[in-house]
Structure 1
Amino acid sequence: MTLRGLYVPLITPFAPDGSVALGALERLAHDMLDAGATGLVALGTTAEPSSLSAAEQAAVLDRLTAVTRDRSARLIVGGATIPRSATAALTLVPPFVRPGEDGVVAHLTAVAARSAVPLVVYHVPYRTGQALSAPALQRIAEIPGVAGIKLAAGGIDAEVIAFMASPPPGFAVLAGDDAFLSPMLALGAHGGIVASAHVATADYAALIGSWSPTLGHRLARLSLALFAEPNPTVIKAVLHAAGRIPTADVRLPLLPAAKESLDQCLGLVPAIAASPVR
């Protein structure tokens, strides 16, 4: 199973009373799939999972499981409870402790051995504090039960280029830094886990389906604008302005996006939507 295509890590929309707006979440899920997403990610960082109660997390997961089952779409799940029906579990490289490359490989080997579903390893060193060399990434890719990696190295350096030169057959590399999606596709990535694809979803799907530098440059500008403040604050502001979610609310420690950030995105979206894919 090679995980290819566009996966959208869904936000958690909130109602005016502060509860999870499950109806809006379900509509967003269908919208993403209708616009060409291959699958969804439930309870990723974009969903603000640390601010959700266990009951809220379960409700979100139940709703997205039902949508993806009914649509025969793939579902990657973050969090501690992974249903057997999930396509894969999004598993973070151990954060904060910086166990070293051998420790990371040993940890992921143990997690994969006891997991009921394949793993997608999430490598994001600017959050975890743990750098990984190309040989370490290769070792991770060879762990039984690891199906792919969400590669969000904060840029494209020599280690990323070396790893992308020879990933194992059947192993999926999914771009995880939205602004670097286009160059990662050019290097051979199989797709992406792209929070920016809440907006202009069809364009991100088209870029992954048939790489175009022109479209890639335009979407990179949109991604940079959508990440001008901590994710998913700007994305929520744009979706609310478009009438797609009931509020732009986030939960602490996040704060709502500034109007300037919203205005910048709204200035980019019509131009992107009207631009031909070449």
Structure 2
Amino acid sequence: MTFTGVYVPLITPFDATGAVDLDSLEALARQVLAGGAAGLVALGTTGEPAALSAVEQRAVVDVTARVCRERGAALVIGANSVEAVRALRDRPQVSAALSLVPPFLRPGEDGVVAYFEALAAASPVPVIVYHVPYRTGQSLSAATVRRLAAIPGVAGMKLAAGGIDAATMELMADPPAGFAVLGADDAFVSPLLALGAHGGILASAHLATDRFAELVRAWQAGDAVRARAVGHQLTGLALALFAEPNPTVLKGVLHAQGRIPTAAVRLPLLPAGGDSIRAALECQPAGLP
């Protein structure tokens, strides 16, 4: 399949006892898909997967898989090892694995390519590379991204370069055929779409989902006037939501809206401050919840 449009990397809501609130998770999944999201991401970094037990992780995937099956939507699962992608064989609803460029080790570009060759060979579903160099410490040239795109089974990239850098410009000047580029720096997604990106994996799209979907459609239709207007509006929201570590502000906003029972996060995250939450609430596009 071709990965286009808006994919929402779902938070993991917690109830007053600290347990995962699966009912709220299901409600969020249904809300964003009804708002125009093309699919969901479960166990992405926004969902705090490292803080979830294996039982909790399975429950999250069970819920999101059921909703995506009912809605005919794509489901992408965070999977960052050969063992994790192999486990997706038992998940027929899964459309792709989202796999992080190896962090901290900085294996070099040849090492990254070899790593994704191994992941793709083991995976029963297409692999989407998650490239976020300001977190992993590993930069990738446009030439290396093209090498990744040539690996059988690698379908695209979640690109979070911290802005529109030279490597991104070079890549988007001649993007690999059949390789989806999905923006993941929420505040920069509009200019990346203007360069030809296929969509985005956007935590901010928990809110104003229909506007983010409209943003993608407008750029794809070549309606730059409309796209710029929507993009400018959504940039302020994205900046406000990322004023503190993700997803702390987002959870605060969702709780304030009554969409999740608490704003709780798990360590090492701490809840966002009230000022950040109020600022994000004030930045939502007019006429939307």
Residue 47 of structure 2 aligns with which residue?
47
Residue 32 of structure 1 aligns with which residue?
32
Q: Counterpart of 2:283 in 1: which secondary structure?
A: helix
Residue 215 of structure 1 aligns with which residue?
230
* Counterpart residue type for residue 217 of structure 1: H
The alpha-carbon deviation at position 101 of structure 1 amounts to 0.5
* Counterpart check, 1:266 vs 2:274: no
* Counterpart residue type for residue 43 of structure 1: L
Residue 127 of structure 1 aligns with which residue?
135
Residue 249 of structure 1 aligns with which residue?
264
Residue 77 of structure 1 aligns with which residue?
77
Residue 3 of structure 1 aligns with which residue?
3
Superposed CA offset, 1:1-43 (max 9, x none) = 2100000000000010110000000000000000000000000
Aligned pairs for 1:120-269 (under 5 A) are 120-211=128-219, 212-269=227-284
Aligned partners of 2:184 and 2:283: how far apart in 1? 21
Q: Counterpart of 1:218 in 2: which secondary structure?
A: helix
RMSD after superposition:
1.0
The alpha-carbon deviation at position 273 of structure 1 amounts to 3.0
Q: Counterpart of 1:8 in 2: which secondary structure?
A: strand
Aligned pairs for 1:86-101 (under 5 A) are 86-101=94-109
Indicate if the aligned counterparts of 2:131 and 2:158 stay in contact, CA closer than 8 A: yes
Between the aligned residues of both structures, percent identity stands at 62
Aligned partners of 1:213 and 1:65: how far apart in 2? 34
Aligned partners of 1:164 and 1:61: how far apart in 2? 33
Aligned partners of 2:196 and 2:104: how far apart in 1? 30
* Counterpart residue type for residue 262 of structure 2: T
The alpha-carbon deviation at position 175 of structure 1 amounts to 0.3
The alpha-carbon deviation at position 267 of structure 1 amounts to 1.1
- For structure 1, the 5+ residue unaligned runs are none
Aligned partners of 2:166 and 2:195: how far apart in 1? 12
The alpha-carbon deviation at position 200 of structure 1 amounts to 0.9
Indicate if the aligned counterparts of 1:93 and 1:121 stay in contact, CA closer than 8 A: yes
Q: Point out 4+ residue stretches in structure 1 off by more than 3 angstroms.
A: none
Aligned partners of 2:247 and 2:235: how far apart in 1? 16
The alpha-carbon deviation at position 44 of structure 1 amounts to 0.1
Aligned partners of 1:58 and 1:13: how far apart in 2? 15
Q: Normalised by the size of structure 1, how large is the TM-score? A: 0.96
Aligned partners of 2:286 and 2:94: how far apart in 1? 32
Aligned partners of 2:275 and 2:269: how far apart in 1? 17
Indicate if the aligned counterparts of 2:113 and 2:148 stay in contact, CA closer than 8 A: yes
Superposed CA offset, 1:221-266 (max 9, x none) = 1100000000000000000000000000000100000000011011
Aligned partners of 1:227 and 1:10: how far apart in 2? 15
* Counterpart residue type for residue 12 of structure 2: T
Indicate if the aligned counterparts of 2:68 and 2:93 stay in contact, CA closer than 8 A: no
The alpha-carbon deviation at position 166 of structure 1 amounts to 1.3
Indicate if the aligned counterparts of 2:96 and 2:126 stay in contact, CA closer than 8 A: yes
